[in-house]
Amino acid sequence: MKLERISFGERVAEQESEKLSNYFVKTQQWESLYNGDVDIVFGAKGSGKSALYTLLLKRIDEFKEKKVILLSAEKPTGQTVFSDVSDEPPTAEKEFITLWKVYFLQIICDWLITNGHNSGHAKTVIDKLIEAGLIEQQNTLKRFVNSAMRFARQLVNIESVEGGATIEGGITGKITFKTPTEAERKVGYISVDELFDFLNKYLEGKDIKFWLLCDRLDVAFEQSLDLEKNALRALFKVYLDLEEFEFISLKIFLRNDIWNRITKEGFREASHITRATNIEWTLNNLLNLIVIRSLENSEIINELSIDAEKIKSDFDKQKEYYYTLFPKQVDVGEKQSDTFDWIISRVRDGLGYVAPRELIHFYNQTVLEERREQDISSDKAEAPNIVSRQAIKKATYEISKVKLEQTIFAEYPDLREHIMALENQKAEHTLETVAQIWKADVNIARGISVQLSEIGFIDQKIFKNDALLKIPFLYRPYLNIVQGKAF
């Protein structure tokens, strides 16, 4: 079989948007999102949040026929539109609340103008934004963010932005944060929330709904934890503020570890966020994921003479088919696990989570390792298997390396030194043994260990009550950590 033509797809949804619909299995979570019953999608890194987001965007025309307009608040790839916010971050949640609200008004009104909706209440809102310098002749998402940022900063510092008087940043207009007094209203002042009310009334008359999609929030404010906390807490407050408007909805896709981080010190509004779902994968779901992706390869279908649709429609057939592609066991023996379970154990982190992104990477890597064996005429795959046991074992190093270098070290650089100190050590430790390795007091070692358990570098369940520090298989190949106890 020509392995160079075989792929299990891309790890990142944005890089395979054209084929994603072919892979995708409609789950109850997808149906809830598609039908508008869910607004917030939580999930671990690599769990498939962006896949749901990408699939929604692929259906823009389908939603438009239902009079639902999908607008992305972020570019799907490349530099985030919020990059300049990182340079001059708003100092408080209140500034971010104004920034988000103004930004959402901008992107809705930009669509309305482009599509010939510039009358009635819509015209009132559009005129106010133009007057305030928030909509110009040439607009991009980044320009909107930057003008909204300047506007928010000034609006927090002064009671209102007075029409006719140009202030720093060139912003004019009569938009206030608070509800204007009667005297202010007579001379043309209006609040940000009233602008949303006007828009909602216009959209109700036209029977048009807007869904504003917020994804890539893990990279939008990554330069500062305080920036991230202020920005995202404000976003959820804006989400709750906009719930009263039937025709304007936010759809937020966020990593659950980031949600836990921004709410760690308490977040009173969290109890009101009920239209949410958390992406979870069972072992059967994960096997189905690999099978469905493999069936997109015509090389496999033709070589094995299989009926892809029959396999897709019967899970028992999927399991049988899986073991035509892969050997029954990696480590052969009566007490050894089957190959699928063996691979799962090499991809699972210390939180007990298996990210589909890493699983896809693993299977692609096994194919690459087998191709390397073929290049030197050392191919040991046993037909009809497409890869050998050796190729599967060799794949573990690259997955371990990428997970540590591109995720753990990239997101938690302050923990890198402590992790690298465990190189060439045993897999199981006590607080006393890691304290010796880190040359630290046991209490300091406990604090470091808590952090490592929170990010999944050590098994969180086993570490409970400081019982034992066990490093998952996922991280062992890169660090050359061997099985056994250090005590």
Q: Are residues 126 and 239 in the same domain?
A: yes
Residues in the chain: 487
Q: Are residues 447 and 395 in the same domain?
A: no
Tens of pLDDT, residue by residue over 268-317, are: 999 999 999 999 999 999 999 999 999 999 999 999 999 999 999 999 99
Tens of pLDDT, residue by residue over 214-241, are: 999 988 888 788 889 999 999 999 999 9
CATH code at position 427? 1.10.10
Dist CA 33 CA 282 (whole Å):
20
Total count of domains within the chain:
3
Q: Which residue, 218, 248, 278, sits at the end of a domain?
A: 278
Q: Are residues 227 and 306 in the same domain?
A: no
Q: Are residues 34 and 119 in the same domain?
A: yes
Q: Are residues 329 and 289 in the same domain?
A: yes
What is the per-residue pLDDT for 1? 78
Alpha-carbon Rg for the chain in angstroms: 26
Q: Which residue, 357, 380, 411, sits at the end of a domain?
A: 411
CA angle 415, 259, 448 (to 5 degrees): 20
What is the per-residue pLDDT for 17? 65
Q: Which residue, 395, 411, 427, sits at the end of a domain?
A: 411
Q: Which residues of the chain have pLDDT under 70?
A: 13-18, 86-91, 156-173
Greatest extent of the chain over all pairs of C-alpha atoms, in Å: 86
Q: Are residues 449 and 421 in the same domain?
A: yes
Q: Are residues 445 and 327 in the same domain?
A: no
Quote the pTM value.
0.88
Q: Are residues 321 and 197 in the same domain?
A: no
Q: Are residues 63 and 102 in the same domain?
A: yes
Structural domain boundaries enclosing 472:
413-487
Q: Are residues 238 and 123 in the same domain?
A: yes
Q: Are residues 394 and 418 in the same domain?
A: no
Q: Are residues 251 and 367 in the same domain?
A: no
What is the per-residue pLDDT for 171? 44
